[in-house]
Amino acid sequence: MKMWLRIGIALLLSLLLPASQALELPEPGALQARMGRAVQAVQVIEPHLSVAGQQLRVRYLGYPAPLVFERLLGADWQRPGREIELRALDGFVSRVPVERFAKYQAWLVQARADGAAFMVDNHAQHEKQVPLGPYYLVWDNIAAPELVAEGGAVWPYQVASIALKPGSREALLPAGLGSGFAEHADLAQKYCLSCHQVNGYGGEKMPLNLAVRAKLLDLRTWRTWLLNPQTLKPGTAMPPLPDTLPAAEREAIVAKLHRYLRAVPVLP
């Protein structure tokens, strides 16, 4: 078989791979070759280094995330109802609706622009010098200040693979749940399900089923877990809800998550 024909078949097979199959990200040099351009600098308010009232800006080097997704996942990756799954080395799984990438500018970065180590002190999880590579998804929260209050909930680091996945509606809003829980499910996906799960949907860092766990906890204990987990389990890596959110909003999120997770059916 001629070389050009083998290459053509390989390219065709790559296009026919299921969209939901995880794609291991190439190392930075290979990614630059695939992108056909040099990395760009982006400055963000680093949520893992910032605390309420003190914002630290960091410049990173990388590519606009939509350009990476288009190059690696295909031109139709933004079809409505899908999610981008970003899977980290430590089992952290972030699944982001494609619509968010149309609303806010995200970057897949690979280094700091100042040449400092590509690491971060994650104050919320009491971790120091955490490696961010291979890749780190950051959001332009300077152009969109409303993102600052979210903290680092949708900023996965150590990202090693990406995939297109179906939306989460069927998993998080199953039959029998009742109406009026769409906002609650979105909050669970943003703040809980990168590490935990609901009936098998979510992350693998601490994959306990919150549909079971929340039913065993009264609201007072649940509130402590979400706002001050260190008092229940000193040294835990579980971060509290971001202190950049207004106190009243944090309390509302606690109550909504508790109500939702106690209501969602426990499925096999």
| Residue 36 pLDDT exceeds 50 | yes
pLDDT for 22 equals 87
Q: CATH assignment of 169-263? A: 2.60.40.420
| Residue 42 pLDDT exceeds 70 | yes
Query: Domain-by-domain residue ranges, the chain?
Result: 19-166, 169-263
| Residue 204 pLDDT exceeds 60 | yes
Which pTM does this prediction carry? 0.82
Average pLDDT over the chain, rounded to an integer: 89
Surface-to-core class of residue 38, CB atoms within 10 Å of its CB (0-12 exposed, 13-18 middle, 19+ buried): exposed
Whole-number Å distance between alpha carbons of 102 and 99: 5
DSSP, collapsed to helix, strand or coil, labels residue 17 as coil
Least confident of 5-19, 148-162, 210-224, 248-262: 5-19
Token pair, residue 201, equals 């949907």
Whole-number Å distance between alpha carbons of 71 and 37: 12
Q: What is the separation, in whole angstroms, between the first and last Cα of the chain?
A: 49
pLDDT in tens, 74-83: 999 999 999 9
Cα-to-chain-centroid distance, residue 93: 6
pLDDT for 123 equals 72
| Residue 6 pLDDT exceeds 80 | no
| Residue 15 pLDDT exceeds 70 | no
pLDDT in tens, 46-70: 998 887 668 899 999 999 999 999 9
pLDDT for 35 equals 97
